[in-house]
Each structure stands twice: as C-alpha cells, then as structure tokens.
Amino acid sequence: MSFDLAQLQATHRGAAQSLHRDHVNPKWMQALKLIGFDHEYVRAESQYLWDAKGNRYLDMIGGYAVCNVGRNHPVIRKALTDFLASQTPSMVQFDASILPGLLARQLKGRVGRDLDRVFFTNSGTEGIEAAIKFSRCATGRPTMLYEKGAFHGLSTGALAMNGCESFRSGFEPHPKDFRALPFNDLVSLERELARGDVAGFVVEPIQGKGVNVHSYGFLAEASALCHRHGALFVVDEVQTGVGRTGSFLAIDQEGAVEPDIVVLSKGLSGGYVPVGAVMTKTAVWDKVFSRLDRAIVHSSTFHMSGLAMVAGLATLSVLEDERLAENATQIGALLRNGLEAMKPRFEFIGAIRQRGLMIGIEFAKPSSLTLRMAWRMIHALDDNLFTQAVTIPLMQDHRILSQVAGHAIPVLKLTPPLTISSDDVTDFLGAFEKTMIGIHRFPGPAWDALRRIALNSLRPNNAAPKIAQELDVHQAASEWLGESDTTDQRTDSRK
C-alpha cells in the first residue's frame, strides 16, 4: 500500500496526545495538560489556530517567534510546493546550486554592515555554535563572553552561554572559557575584555528570556569596546531578527553598532522549514575557510537544503510585500499603549517592555495586604508560577496562546505573528483586562489554577526549603495547599 498522509492523519485524529505521551515526551504532555494547553489543532492560518470543533485560537506565541509572516502563508506554501514539483535536486553536496547564492545576496541587501559572507544552518543553536568556532578561529583566543539571562540555545557550546541555571543544571561539566557578564554592564565588559583572552562577546539585542532591553547606546559602545580589545562582537538576532522588532534587525534601531557576526534563524523559516544564517565579515570568514583543504572545514549535511533556501527567499519577499516590520511597529505600539493604560488599575502589572511585536509584561509585588501575601506565597513555591495565573485563563477563557518568559522575575511574553491586526489587539487587551480583574481577587478561580499546579508539579522537597526561607508565609502556603488535598491530587495525577 502506498503512503497516504491524509488517510494517516484522518485515521489517527484525536490520538495525538496519547501518541506523544507513549512515544515522544510524557512529561511535556503532562505539563501541557496541567496548564490546559493540551489542545489538538487541526488547521492554522496567519495568527489563528483551529481545533477539531472549529474553535479559533489567537496565537500570541507565534511558534516561539518563528511565524513572523503568519502560519501557512499562501505565497510560501506555493513556493515550497513549486520547488517540490520542479524536482530540482537538493543536497548534491558537490555542487553549487542557485538558491543559497540568491538567499545570501538577499540577506546581505537587508543587513549590510560589510557582513559579506553567509553560512547557512538548520537552527539558531547551530548558528551560535558556528559563531563560537569562528570567533576562536579568527582571533586565536579561547574565551567567549555572554550576559546573565541570555538564551543562545541548548547544545553544549550554546548551553555554556546560557544564563539560566535551570537549563544548565544536570549537564555539568560545562566547557570552560565561557564567562558571564551582568546584563547591560559596559564596565564589566571592558574589565573582561582587558584580560586579553576574549575571542568574542555574544549578545541578544533584546533578551528573549524576560524581554530585557539594553539601554540605548549599550550595543554600539559594546561593539566599539570589543574592537578596541581585539575581540569579535557577535549579535544573536535569532529571535529579534527578520522584522520582529519593527526593523529587519533589532540593531537597526541602535545607532552605530558594528557586528562582526550576526546570527539569524527562526523567522527566516516562514514557519515551515528550519533555516538559519551566520553572516560574517570577510576577514572572519577568511580565517576559518583559509585554504582549499579547509573549504568545508565547518559544514553540515542539511545546511543549504533546497526547501530551506526557498522558505528563506519567499519569507523575505512576503515580509517586504506586506510591510510586516512596519505592521510590527504600529501594532506593537497599540498593544503597549493599551497595556500602559491598564497599569494604574492593576497592582500586579509592573514594567512593560516592548519593541515591535516582542513584548514582555512584568508582574510586580502588589501593595495591598492580601494580594501581597498571595504573591509571596506563590513565590515561596516557585518564581515562575505566578505568570501561569495569567496564561491559563487567557487560554481557558479566551483561547489565546501566551507564554511565561522569566528567570526569577515573572514575565508574560508575547511574540505573535507580525500579521496581527488592531482587532486582535482589541481582543487581547479585553481578555487580558478580564484576566487581571480575576487575578486581583484572592482567593478566587485564578488562584485555584495555581494551587492545582503547585499540588501536581512542585515536589514538597523542592518547595519546602523555599517556603522555609519565608517563615511568615510558610503557614499560609501549607494551609492553602492543604495536606489531605495534596495526597488526593497526587494520586489523581498518577492515573
């Protein structure tokens, strides 16, 4: 019998979760269930997803900032199907096909800055790994600098530059010669550079975790400092690039920044095919690919696959035709203004950080007594728990996907497709307002959802030391969780 995708999908409709639980990642399935994100989507278009019952969901995550041009864009879909129909060979390896050259030229046209060589990758992480190798090779030095709070991927080298302990823990020893700097700190950067062993400083213009924005001038001055000390300045635009922040690169809004390497990925895929690009100065490239026998000294089997190149080319075209970076600027401002207007009414809303359609809503300790106690109690259990009291009702009551994006500070993060409209903003703001009203009522249903998570996911051994640090909330937290309830719920979760 020949392979029939439509039939395969039809005969397994409704089985996605059990298949995933049994054969892929049972813990992830459990987590999705717990926060009520265990939906099976059957269709997607632009910024919307639909389940089998025909319910529509507004996607404010955008596949982790991947679907910049919206899901299943007809132009990209057609380009990919045209490519498949054309039977153009891909991955011949010992050839030079037309598509990588075209995509590299298009990227250079948008990025400029004398970043004249392009190495293609299959992911953001691979781009970062390449940047580490290229920096060391170009300078002959060992050390890579990164910022606390950074996220550059989870492979061994990228993980050594990950600023979040929860990702690092359990995978020690991490490679040496990676040193962390405080966020946004030029003095520390200069002190580290002065040691003379630094190959490169890798930095996200806006940190994805927490949506932390550097102060204006930091990136320009950091690049100048790196060059003064013979180190490379590497900009990780994996998340911020391809129009996300309102310009092609986020550094386009940051004055005289002079990168030696820029890493792109995510949005370049059109939401379809993994692809990334490491753009370097010729001088850097020539150190790495220095002789004929080193012409492919850094490479990977799939790194210029035809489908990936087509996805990249079509994405750049759509981004421009539909002026999506401009839309990100306009719609992002609309969202920000709406959120700022709500701020005085809700004690829990802290700083709002926004650049284009990369938005972080930080939650802050409230001032009134009851809410302050509730806040401390939740934080005694887990630093990131509070934000789930926002993501859960946004999904449950309003069918909006959003995500937690903090380390120690609770932050709700929004990275929707750049196609969202002012109507979507109105819908989101209405839903967010209702959610805020709910969470400012303690006790109440929003807090019950947190209690359910705490009971199921926080092992007493984990929670106890944190609670003990805050003795005055210990009693309240244990009463709120309730011992007999705890046992019942844990038994349930094992069923």
Select the residue interacting with ligand PMP from 76, 107, 128, 211 (CB under 6 A). Answer: 128
Contact criterion met (CB below 8 Å) for 151 and 265: no
Whichever of 226 and 238 has its CB closer to ligand PMP, that residue is 238
* Nearer residue to ligand PMP within complex by CB, 157 or 208: 208
Q: Which of 70, 200, 208, 332 binds ligand PMP (CB under 6 A)?
A: 208
**Which lies closer to ligand PMP via its Cβ, residue 70 or residue 274?**
274
Q: Give 25's contacts (C-beta < 8 A, 6+ positions apart).
A: none
Residue nearest to ligand PMP (CB): 124
- Helix H segments across 229-305? 282-288
Residue 157 · residue 146 · CB < 8 Å: no
Q: Shortest CA distance to 309 belongs to which of 263, 279, 270, 261?
A: 270
- Torsion over CA: 404, 406, 409, 415 (sign): negative
**Contact status: 123 vs ligand PMP (CB under 6 A):** yes
- Residue 359 touching ligand PMP (CB under 6 A): no
Is the peptide bond preceding residue 182 cis, with omega within 30 degrees of 0?
Answer: no
CB atoms within 10 A of CB 344: 8
Contacts of 124 (CB under 8 A, 6+ apart): 152, 153, 236, 238, 239, 263, 265, 266, 276
List 238, 262, 405, 446, residue binding ligand PMP (CB under 6 A): 238
Distances (CA, A) of 305 to 118, 123, 271, 272, 321: 14, 13, 16, 13, 25
- State the distance between the two ends of the chain, measured CA to CA, in whole angstroms: 38
Contact status: 141 vs ligand PMP (CB under 6 A): no
Among 151, 201, 285, 348, binds ligand PMP (CB under 6 A): 151
Residues numbered 442-481 forming contacts with ligand PMP, rule: CB under 6 A: none
Partners of 234 in the beta sheet? 202, 261
The β-bridge partners of 119 are: 278
Residue 166 beta carbon to ligand PMP: minimum distance, rounded to whole angstroms: 15
At closest approach, how far in Å is the CB of 286 from ligand PMP? 26
Piece in contact with ligand PMP (CB under 6 A), picked from 185-193, 235-243, 292-300, 411-419? 235-243
DSSP assignments along 412-430, one per residue: EEE---TT--HHHHHHHHH
Q: Which of residues 258-317 bind ligand PMP (CB under 6 A)?
A: 265
Q: How far is the CB of 159 from ligand PMP (least distance, A)?
A: 11
CA pair distance 269, 427, nearest whole angstrom: 28
SS3 71: strand
- CA quadruple 400, 401, 405, 409: dihedral, nearest 10: 30
**Could you tell me the smallest distance in angstroms from the CB atom of residue 280 to ligand PMP?**
17
CB of 250 to ligand PMP, least distance (A): 10
Given its phi and psi angles, is residue 476 left (phi above 0), alpha (psi -120 to 50 degrees) or beta?
alpha
Distance of CA 241 to the CA centre of its chain: 12
Q: Which stretch binds ligand PMP (CB under 6 A): 36-44, 232-240, 316-324, 411-419?
A: 232-240
The sign of the torsion formed by the CA atoms of 211, 129, 67, 17 equals negative
Q: Compare residues 238 and 261 and give the one whose CB is closer to ligand PMP.
A: 238
Work out whether 152 is an interface residue with ligand PMP (CB under 6 A): yes
Q: Which of residues 46 and 125 has its CB atom nearest to ligand PMP in the complex? A: 125
Give the residues across from 360 on adjacent strands.
353, 413
Residue number with CB closer to ligand PMP (265 or 419): 265
- Piece in contact with ligand PMP (CB under 6 A), picked from 15-23, 121-129, 162-170, 225-233: 121-129
38-97 residues near ligand PMP, rule: CB under 6 A: 64
CB of 220 to ligand PMP, least distance (A): 19
Determine the interface stretch with ligand PMP among 6-14, 147-155, 247-255, 333-341 (rule: CB under 6 A). 147-155
Q: Which lies closer to ligand PMP via its Cβ, residue 41 or residue 167?
A: 167
303 DSSP assignment: T
In angstroms, give the least distance from the CB of 13 to ligand PMP. Answer: 29
- Say which residues have a Cβ less than 8 Å from residue 293's Cβ, sequence separation at least 6: none
How far apart are CB 444 and ligand PMP at their closest, in Å?
33
Does residue 357 bind ligand PMP (CB under 6 A)? Answer: no
Distance CA 239, CA 207 (A): 9
Stretch that binds ligand PMP, among 39-47, 149-157, 222-230, 474-482 (CB under 6 A): 149-157
**Can the peptide bond before residue 443 be classed as cis, meaning omega within 30 degrees of 0?**
yes
Q: How far is the CB of 121 from ligand PMP (least distance, A)?
A: 9
CA neighbor of 381 nearest in space, from 438, 473, 289, 466: 466
Residue 236 or 347 with smaller CB distance to ligand PMP: 236
Among 204, 254, 382, 424, binds ligand PMP (CB under 6 A): 204
Q: How far is the CB of 228 from ligand PMP (least distance, A)?
A: 26
Question: In the complex, which residues of this chain contact ligand PMP (CB under 6 A)?
Answer: 64, 123-125, 128, 151-153, 204, 208, 236, 238-239, 265
